[in-house]
Structure formats: structure tokens, C-alpha cells
Amino acid sequence: MTKVTEDFVSLLATHQRTIFLYLNSLLPSGQDVDDLFQETCMICWREFEEFTPGTNFGAWACTIAFNQVRAWRTKRGRQRLVFSDEFLESVANELDQNASVLDERATALTACVEKLPDHHRELIRQRYSAEESIGLIAGRLGRSPDAIYRMLSRIRESLHQCVDLTMKVQRT
């Protein structure tokens, strides 16, 4: 493996979560996020010679991701819910300004999810990673959809409190 390849792989591995979360904040569906993440990674590799070593790779890659989102929106045309370029730029600027805090919160969330009981972690995985419907999960667990909604609500509240506490502890 060449030095350039090693540098790229190292930088991408360090910043892939940031890029993915950035795309996730700008796009409506998980499949679109996955597709544009892959496209963004390929473009980053093709244009890596344009990257200035020592600068912020994550910001550079997120700029490429933002341009991919804009191109995706143009291809999609007028769908039922389309955000204006101004709105997307505003969200992108907000993310840029708060990137380190968002990274810290994402890291805290991962740690908090790991602290959950196994059955709660599995429920979170089914609903959010696998994007399964509440009805499907309820049927599989032999519970009502309302019970699943309530359980997810309690888990989300628990995770929110855990992340807030983790952030508070890190700041002191």
C-alpha cells in the first residue's frame, strides 16, 4: 500500500462517522445517506490529491458531501418535501460550527447505547439501524404497537439523560 493510500485510509477511517452523520442530517432516508456516503468516499479518493495535508479532512469531505446532496436534490427534482439551498446551507453551516460538540455527543451516545440492557439495544437496532416498522417489531415481540412506542420513548429519554450527563462530566 502506498503512502498516499495509507494517508487517505487513515483520514477516512478517522472522519467517516462525521461524514455519515453530516449526510444523515441533510437527507430524508437511510438508503439515500448510504448511497451518498459511498459516492462521497469515492469522490474524496479521486480528489485526494487536491486535499492539503494538515488541514481539516473532515471539513473538506463534508464540503464534498454537501455538493453531493445538492446534486442529488437536482436529480430528484421536485418531490413532495424538498428543502431550499438556503436551508441546506444554513444546516451545513450550523453543523460546521458545532462539529466537535456533535462528535462528542455521538461518541457519548455510542457509549450510552452500550450500557443499555441487551433487549433495549436490540430494539434500538431494529428500529433505527434496520429501519423496521413499529408494527413489524410489535408483531415479532408479541406486543402492541403502543407498547413499543412507549418503550422506545423511555429508551430515548434514558439515552438523552445519559448523553447529557456524560457531556456534563466531560466539561468538568
Contacts of 128 (CB under 8 A, 6+ apart): none
Which residue ranges make up each domain of the chain? 3-97, 101-171
30-42 in b/e form (b: 16+ CB < 10 A) is eebbeebbebbbe
* Per-residue pLDDT tens over the stretch 40-51: 999 999 999 999
* Per-residue pLDDT tens over the stretch 137-160: 999 999 998 999 999 999 999 999
Are 41 and 68 in contact by the 8 Å Cβ rule? The answer is no
Nearest-angstrom CA–CA distance, 143 and 21: 32
Q: What cell numbers appear for 14 in the block?
A: 478517522
Radius of gyration of the chain (CA): 19
Nearest-angstrom CA–CA distance, 18 and 59: 9
Q: Do domains 3-97 and 101-171 have the same CATH topology?
A: no
* Per-residue pLDDT tens over the stretch 112-142: 999 999 999 998 888 877 777 888 999 999 9
Average pLDDT over residues 24-41: 87
Task: Judge whether residue 106 has pLDDT over 60.
Answer: yes
Class of domain 101-171: mainly alpha
Architecture of domain 3-97: Orthogonal Bundle (1.10)
Q: What cell numbers appear for 68 in the block?
A: 453531493
Assign 77 a pLDDT band (cuts: 50, 70, 90).
low
